[in-house]
Amino acid sequence: MQRIPRRAAIKTVYPDHSPISAFRFARPPSSLPPVSEQDSPTAITFASREDQASVDEASNFCPKFNADGLIPALALDEESREPLMMAWMNEEALRRTLELGEAVYFSRSRQELWHKGATSGHTQKVLEIRTDCDQDALILYVRQQGAGACHTGRRSCFYRTVTPGDPSALNFVQERAFDPDKVYGTQAP
């Protein structure tokens, strides 16, 4: 069932210091295959990890999953560059994300694949994925569908800042963008 998305250059919308190449996953959402543990696994494979120096300079993607089989993934809004959410992926979630072009995480609380937005409609179209020097973290530049990414009704999960003068206190810096009860009902996001 491996159908690799076609790549197509898009205009880079954020003012990075260095030239970057950005790609659009081209499969339309309507053709999304179901995402569940029961589906046959995708055929995408990752490279094996060699020594640290090799990983740093490798042009092979060899993501490092932790003892729980997970890698952290931070979703950034591709336009505003606002951090939207941080979640985790296991190998299969990362494969599905690469295949679908939409963010698929692994829910640690439910211990299952989590196609973000499957119930709320607030999917995340993935435009670019970056990894870091030791390939144990991922950045996803996403186009957030719907009013927001957070189950509390905010656009971003990072809606509070720490107060330097009083580190025990938080400041709310975002209003709710949607009513979570209407979007999620009583179901967990």
Min. distance of Cβ 37 from its own copies in angstroms?
Answer: 21
- Return all residues near 30 (Cβ < 8 A) that are at least 6 apart: none
The one-character DSSP state at 9 is B
- Return all residues near 45 (Cβ < 8 A) that are at least 6 apart: none
Binds its own copies by CB under 8 A, chosen from 36, 54, 80, 119: 80
What is the x/- site pattern for its own copies, positions 49-68, by CB under 8 A? -------xxxxxx-------
Does 5 sit near its own copies (CB under 8 A)? yes
Q: Identify the three-state secondary structure at position 183.
A: helix
Place of tokens 């690469």: 98
Does 28 sit near its own copies (CB under 8 A)? no
Task: Please check whether residue 104 is in contact with residue 183, taking contact to mean a CB–CB distance below 8 angstroms.
Answer: no
Q: Which residues bind its own copies (CB under 8 A)?
A: 4-7, 14-23, 25, 44-47, 56-61, 72, 74, 76, 80-83, 85-86, 95, 98, 101, 128-133, 137, 139, 150-152, 154-155, 157-175
